């Protein structure tokens, strides 16, 4: 799944429109971001349940991907999630270990009520879920 993570991060950090929304190339974290991380940022998580289908040795694996855009204001979080959805929904990308057949948005963008960090600053999140189908030929 490392190849999938790499291509998703590359697409995000190389997108000029997402960079304009964030004011810089987005910082992407695969687990919890450190407390000192500058906002806005993106958390990228792969779902634990993967489904694989074998077609005469050709393997298609379906992976759930969750993006959480975390920002200091709701407009940035929502705009970042919308751009990320536009960038990756129905995308077809080449991986180092095969092909990404498609990424498909599985739910609408989900904003969350504001939370607070350890400095008691409000933080806002918007979540985007995609289902990615990876193809590896025999």
Number of domains in the chain: 1
- Residue 27's domain comprises 2-136
Looking at residue 64, its pLDDT comes to: 92
| Residue range 29-46: mean pLDDT, rounded | 90
Say what the pTM is: 0.85
3-state SS, the chain, equals: CHHHHHHHHHHHHCCHHHHHHHCCCCEEECCCCCCCCCCCEEEEEECCCCEEEEECCEEEEEEEEEEEEEECCHHHHHHHHHHHHHHHCCCCEEECCEEEEEEEECCCCEECCCEECCCCCEEEEEEEEEEEEEEECC
Instruction: Report pLDDT digits (tens) over 15-33.
Output: 999 999 999 988 999 988 8
What percentage of the chain exceeds 90 in pLDDT?
A: 43
Query: Could you read off the pLDDT of 107-121 as tens digits, one per residue?
Result: 889 888 777 766 667
Look up the CATH number of the domain holding residue 93: 3.30.2000.30
132 or 138: which carries more pLDDT confidence?
132
């Amino acid at each position: 799944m490392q190849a999938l993570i790499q291509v998703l991060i590359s697409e995000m950090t190389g997108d000029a429109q997402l960079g304009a929304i964030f004011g810089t190339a987005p910082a992407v974290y695969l687990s919890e971001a450190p407390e000192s991380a500058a906002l806005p940022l993106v958390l990228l998580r792969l779902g634990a349940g993967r489904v694989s289908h074998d077609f005469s040795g050709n393997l298609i694996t379906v992976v759930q991907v969750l993006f959480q855009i975390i920002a200091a204001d709701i407009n940035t979080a929502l705009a970042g999630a919308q751009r990320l959805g536009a960038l990756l929904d129905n995308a077809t990308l080449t991986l180092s270990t095969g092909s990404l057949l498609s990424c498909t948005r599985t739910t609408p963008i989900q904003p969350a009520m504001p939370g607070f960090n350890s400095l008691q600053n409000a933080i806002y999140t918007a979540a985007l879920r995609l289902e990615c189908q990876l193809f590896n030929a025999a």
